[in-house]
Copies of this chain bind each other. A is one copy, B any other.
Amino acid sequence: MSEPRKLEVLRAIVEDYVHSREPVGSKALVERHHLGVSSATIRNDMAILEEEGLIAAPHTSAGRIPTDKGYRLFVDRISAVKPLSAAERRAIHSLLEGPDELEDILERTVRLLSQLTNQVAVVQYPHLSRARVRHVEFVLLAPRQVLVVLIADTGNVEQKVIDAGSDVSDEALTALRARFLGSISGSQLDLMPQVLPSVVALCPPALRGLAQVLAHGLETLTSSSREARILMAGTANLARSNVDFPLSIGPVLEALEEQVVMLRLLSDMGDDPRGVTVSIGRENPYDGLSEASVVATGYGPGTNAKIGVLGPTRMDYPTTMAAVRAVARYLSRILGG
């Protein structure tokens, strides 16, 4: 049997099934796609595809549906990129409208992506780890309370109120601010644990106690738990595709709510620099997502944060991948400029 036709058959099955949500049989296949052979031949091909674990039959006398492995092959070798429609392009360009603060932009982006794909869209805040310190500020709120503000060159502003333990003078704060700023301004945030102690060590003994506290505050601001934020939109789309989650959408909602899970998931997905990455069904590390697929890609400076969508394995991969890629690119451009 011919290898190209085998792939063609798989492609047809995936496309039909995604379109109709119904197991697709040999006869329907030859009718809808001009494959140039009869249904009997297709039956033989399908038997082989099934042997290879690419498709499966829900029961004896039903058509076939793609398995996770089948989708994987489809995504990797068969699918062609679908160009976006003009309307979609226009929608993406409208991202520029509105306030240009990081949070607002991300929010609009994730909303847009969920509308474009009719799936749940997810975006991770830009990683701080590779960002650099742009500014540091200490503000005395009360005799012992200090507001520590750290601004990264990504536009992130992180702040935290800390308790100094003993009374703090304005002069001490100003002095320390200058010291910290001089030493760490421009350095990468993920180097803070190494850099900060040396700053403290160089302080005159009188200031060292306070410096220690402030350094610790700064460190927590840059720690990974801080950057662990995810924005999402379109969870209602899950309800629409209720049928596609035979068990329940409960576990999926749980996963989405558990930011740790989502972050892990996104960062586990390799960072193919020139395309989107897809994680299909049981490939997902989290059990609750065994019937879901994630299509994601990096964005922003160094493509270090991820944006993507989550939906049922029965998903229109080409279109979704195109949308994710287009939105990610445009988002990168906005943030870069």
Interface of A toward B, CB cutoff 8 Å = 101, 134-135, 137, 139, 141, 147, 149, 151, 155, 157, 159-161, 233-236, 238-240, 242, 248-251, 253-254, 256-257
Contact = CB atoms under 8 A, between A and B. Distances in A.
Nearest to A136: B139
A120 B238 CA distance: 16
B257 A248 contact: no
A155 B160 CA distance: 10
13 contacts: A101-B160, A101-B161, A137-B139, A139-B151, A159-B159, A234-B257, A235-B235, A235-B253, A235-B256, A236-B251, A236-B257, A239-B249, A240-B248
Task: Give chain A's interface secondary structure class.
Answer: mixed
Contacts of A235: 235, 253, 256-257
A149 B141 contact: no
Contacts of A161: 101, 155, 157
Contact of A242 (B147, B160, B234, B248): B248
A182 to B, nearest CB: 16
A161 B152 CA distance: 12
Nearest to A140: B135
Nearest to A135: B141
Contacts of A234: 257
A289 to B, nearest CB: 13
Nearest to A134: B141
A242 B238 CA distance: 13
